[in-house]
Structure 1
């Protein structure tokens, strides 16, 4: 099942984002979406996402968020000691 390919619409639904935010991210901030590939070489060639890449990217984002939260809690605890 992880060989499944997602469209931008399907990714947007999965991540509860707008398709417009996915479009913008693909062109301006590709690091803010999972790895993608184009079906063709043209400017308007469709973009697709492998489900396995999406799952890996989401796991990395969750871990990054967890670490940032822990670091923020640690900073706040250090501040309270003064």
Structure 2
């Protein structure tokens, strides 16, 4: 898909992949799941064909409990505690 590109030393591919996986996993589960789904849905279509369905999904995420938690954690300068809701 070309979303992520990283050059790493030979033999360190697994370590680099695990590091990236940890960074992704530290985000809100609802967002990670939705973004994976949107990427799969978008790939075979033109951006205009998927704009409105994507917009609806992203608007729903913005209203989620995890979104509120993310903003509150940022304001309170602490790590977020995402629940996947």
Assess same fold via TM > 0.5: no
- The structure whose residues are more often strand, as a share, is 1
The normalised TM-score by structure 2 is 0.29
The normalised TM-score by structure 1 is 0.30
